Amino acid sequence: MNRLYIIFFLIPIIIIGCKSRDIDEKIISQSINSLNMNIYSSDGIKLLSIKSPYSNYKKAINIFNLKETTIMLFKNNKGEYVITSDNSKLSNNNKLIELNGNVEVKTLIEDDKLYSNSFIWNIENSEFLLVGNVIFINNSITLSSDKAIFNKTNNIIEFFNPVKYKVTNNKGGYEVNSQNAFYNIKTKSVTFTSKEEGVRSKIYF
């Protein structure tokens, strides 16, 4: 009989314990539908907007986890780049952005597109890090590597060794491998470098 009393006494404790855990998780973690967030600089300048149909905010560690993310980057209060991905994370007091899965960066003016598996950006800096199957495509050239850094200030994309590039035009095209390449979005020029041989070449399109 004493054993039965012990069993019945433990069951309410277990049930209450589970409910308390669920409540704690709801307090420290909040689901958000249709997130629309704007981030500004310390001077009040709009830097970017983030949209996601579904996101989760972990209050204890101040991290947003977002699905199907769309990010608009601004310059002089005008949209300059649009970045999309399957998933993303916003951390470090909304200063560090990490995107993963089918990342696409495209300009709003030119027909330039940049793809990668992952994308990391500290909004206090002007450089984006892209890693994994990095591919840049426009009407004239295709550049690909496993790693690239996109400098938003000077609009130059640096592709790291090994780099494959393909040039196409009305007369045909050619494909070559290189160690490093720098593409300037504004001037539409690509510079190839080889540290070992000291070779440097530049092509305009």
Residue that the structure tokens 């983030």 belong to: 50
pTM for the model: 0.76
Q: What stretches of the chain adopt beta strand conformation (E)?
A: 29-40, 46-58, 63-75, 78-91, 96-107, 113-122, 127-137, 141-151, 156-159, 163-169, 172-178, 180-184, 189-194, 199-204
pLDDT recorded at residue 178 = 72
- Name 48's bridge partners: 39, 73
Which pLDDT band holds residue 174 (cuts at 50, 70, 90)?
A: low
Say if CB 48 and CB 40 are below 8 A apart. no
pLDDT digits (tens, 9 = 90+) for 27-72: 467 888 888 999 888 888 888 999 999 999 988 888 999 999 999 9
Would you call 22 helix, strand, or coil by DSSP? helix
Say if CB 81 and CB 106 are below 8 A apart. yes
pLDDT digits (tens, 9 = 90+) for 107-160: 887 788 999 999 999 988 889 999 999 999 988 889 999 999 999 888 899 999
Q: Lowest-pLDDT range, 12-26, 118-132, 175-189?
A: 12-26
Q: Which of 137, 83, 126 lies closest to 105, judged by CA?
A: 83
Would you call 205 helix, strand, or coil by DSSP? coil
